[in-house]
Structure 1
Amino acid sequence: MRQRRFLPNLSLLLAFDAVMRNGSVTGAAQDLALTQSTVSRLIQTLEAQLGQDLFRRQRKRLIPTEAAQRYFREVSNALDILQRASMSLIANPEGGSLSLAVLPTFGTRWLAPRLPGFLSANPGISVNLATRFARFNFEAEPFDAMICFGRDDWPEAMHLKLFDERLTACAAPAFLADHPVARAEDLHDCVLLQLETRPTAWAAWFEGQGAAPPMVPNGMLMDQFSMMIQAAISGLGIALLPDYLARIEITEGRLRPILRQAVPGPGAYWLAWPQGKDDLGPLKAFRGWITAMLAEATDR
């Protein structure tokens, strides 16, 4: 049973949140369509319920304490979760929703084109997408799952392997006309575009070609594959892309492959979710759909 003392009334939390966001009672009062005296009274009531001051009063100004700053981060996150839940219920009262975090380029280039298939097969479910580069604490973020890259070692999470990453080096046609490549060693003097999260990718590619990587690579470091693709199209160097991305650019003629394609890479793509959400209906439906879709693609 939840203890009332530790569950302040929503109006108290909204007043606290508004004061922290605006930095003043005046701004909070305008946001909430309340009088300044009402907001001040709500803050005092919250402090009395919690048994400690959240602000120092200085010449009619409220200066938040360190404890208030910590409390604000938690309260703000909780209010966001409540808002998302209410919005989801209003928008989709029958089927529920799935809040999914995805890697930016993977989300736009791989997942988004396939999502209509999932939504068509599950008409009562809505999917909310947001991008994340790195792992996070599921307890602190409003996500049901994340599609991530690396290994199945996310603490206190369950994992479903989607597929291993395979790498294809490619460059713009004009770049290859000026820098012809007949063997892997010809890349040693070229600019090799590299992703921050794949520090060993080029070494894996050279190994897959049966060659040694350059001792001191001449490269450019980037944080997204979308940026790397555009850099390669612009002739800045040679991109090393997951094969599912490379095939799109190669088919559309913007890039050309170099030597052996789809070389085994150093990691895989995973669907990860907290153990407590293993039985969540929309998540179970998504796992079933993506498993079947990948199995069908493998059989072709």
Structure 2
Amino acid sequence: MPPLQWLQTFRAVMEAGSFSGAAKLMNLTPSAISHQMRALEGMLGRPLFLRVRRSVVPTEEALTYSASIGESFARLMTATIRVASGAGVRRLPIHASPSLATLWLMPRLGQFLREHPSIDVALFASHEPARLGQDGILIDIQYARPVPEDCEAVALGEELIVPLASPAFVAAHGLETADDIARVPLIHSLRCVVPWDQWAARHAPFVPLSARGLQFDRAHLALAAAVDGLGLALESTLQARDLLAAGRLVMPLGPTGIGVVAHRLIYRRAERANPEVQAFVEWLMREIVEKPVPPTET
């Protein structure tokens, strides 16, 4: 790479149209400008200017080179301003399972930001767990995953895995008791820790389940299908909390479910004293504990 000073001088010559004009812009002597440009040409192995009396005429290579350098200088200036203006901003990179991020965290993230205006959140979502300490992620909200040895875990409370459906679906199919699930289309959430056959073994052991039904690999897709009246879903009351509160889904069989502890917030022990991590953990647990799932009527 040429010295940055040479590139700045080159841009000044292109702007001024002469070595003397560039000397005034750079507060240097014309001979210093000429020396730097000859050094730059020597490094590049080709001329950048045609010397015509007291002026210089840029070559085609010089015009192309100048345009590229100008773009790079603009990006460098933008990056510098961004970093300088971000002084004092604390950033918290968080990873979460896609459905919890979509259904629960995103609708509440604004409240966290209002309570902690000096913290900027970067949210990432995927089914695979984050590699804490390697990906730059400080917090991971995992679903049904083992806790790494170097991490501490905070359980997001017990979730109830229950049958859920839209009010219109319940009315259309006359869904009232566990026996009725034998004659309605089921929605299978493939990543749910409690499948339909496990739920039926406990709450409807003599009811045959249809072998057919819609299948989804994400809870938010299964719940969206249930909201659209496509079937009876078996999912978590934590994931469906807002849909239940809005009346878009109901528990047609009541709270007849299986309790699980599936979602855990984890962070590395080395980050235990991190104020951003502490703030998010305290806020999250307050949201989970103080605002339980409201009762629904079928």
Residue 127 of structure 2 corresponds to residue 127 of structure 1: no
2:143 to 149, 154, 173: 149
Find 1:239's aligned residue among 233, 239, 243.
233
1:262-285 Cα offsets, whole Å, 9 max, x none, are 623343211111233223221122
- Kindly provide the amino acid, as one letter, of the partner of residue 277 in structure 2: L
Q: CA deviation at 1:112?
A: 2.2
Could you tell me which amino acid in structure 2 is paired with residue 228 of structure 1?
Answer: A
Deviations 1:103-162 (A, max 9, x none): 222123212232233223322211111111122422442211111122553343221112
Over aligned residues, Cα RMSD in angstroms?
Answer: 3.3
SS across alignment from 2:176: coil
Residues 289, 253 of structure 1: alpha-carbon distance in 2 compared, 3 angstrom cutoff: closer
Provide structure 2 residue ranges, at least 5 long, that are not aligned to the other structure.
1-42, 45-79
Structure 1 residues 112 and 199: CA distance shift in structure 2, 3 A: closer
Give the 3 Å change call, closer, same or farther, for CA 287–252 of structure 1 in structure 2: closer
Question: Percent identity at matched positions?
Answer: 24
Which whole-Å CA distance do the structure 2 matches of 1:182 and 1:211 have between them? Answer: 17
Partner AA of 1:94 in structure 2: G
Q: Does 1:282 align with 2:273?
A: no
| C-alpha contact (below 8 Å) 1:202/1:213 kept by paired residues | no
Kept in 1, the 8 Å contact 2:163–2:257? The answer is no
User: Matched residues in 2 for 1:290 and 1:241: separation?
Assistant: 21
1-side partners of 2:104 and 2:217: how far apart?
Answer: 18
Q: CA deviation at 1:178?
A: 3.9
Contact 2:187 2:232 in 1 (8 A): yes
Output one character per residue of 1:191-244: Cα deviation in whole Å (capped at 9) or x when no partner: 221222125333454356364564664332212222112222333211122213
Equivalence map 1:1-300=2 (5 Å): 92-150=86-144, 153-198=147-192, 200-206=194-200, 209=203, 211=205, 214=208, 217-261=211-255, 263-297=257-291
Is the radius of gyration larger for structure 1 or structure 2?
2
**119-128 or 240-249, which moves further after superposition?**
240-249
1:30-70 C-alpha deviation (Å, 9 max, x unpaired): xxxxxxx99xxxxxxxxxxxxxxxxxxxxxxxxxxxxxxxx
Say whether the 8 Å CA contact 1:184–1:211 is kept in structure 2: no
Amino acid at match of 2:178: A
User: Scaled by the length of structure 2, what TM-score is found?
Assistant: 0.61
Name the CA distance, whole Å, in 2 between partners of 1:91 and 1:193.
50
CA distance in structure 2 between the aligned counterparts of 1:199 and 1:218, rounded to whole angstroms:
20
Distance 1:281 1:88, change over 3 A: farther
Q: Please say if residues 168 and 246 of structure 1, whose CA atoms lie closer than 8 Å, have aligned partners that are also in contact.
A: no
Q: Distance in 2 between matches of 1:171 and 1:296?
A: 25
Tell me the number of residue pairs that the alignment of Structure 1 and Structure 2 aligns.
217
Residue 291 to residue 173, structure 1, CA distance change in 2 (3 Å)? closer
Pick closer, same or farther for the CA change 1:155–1:124 going to 2, 3 Å: same
Structure 2 equivalent of residue 13 of structure 1: none
Q: TM-score, normalised by structure 1?
A: 0.61
The amino acid that maps onto 2:266 is A
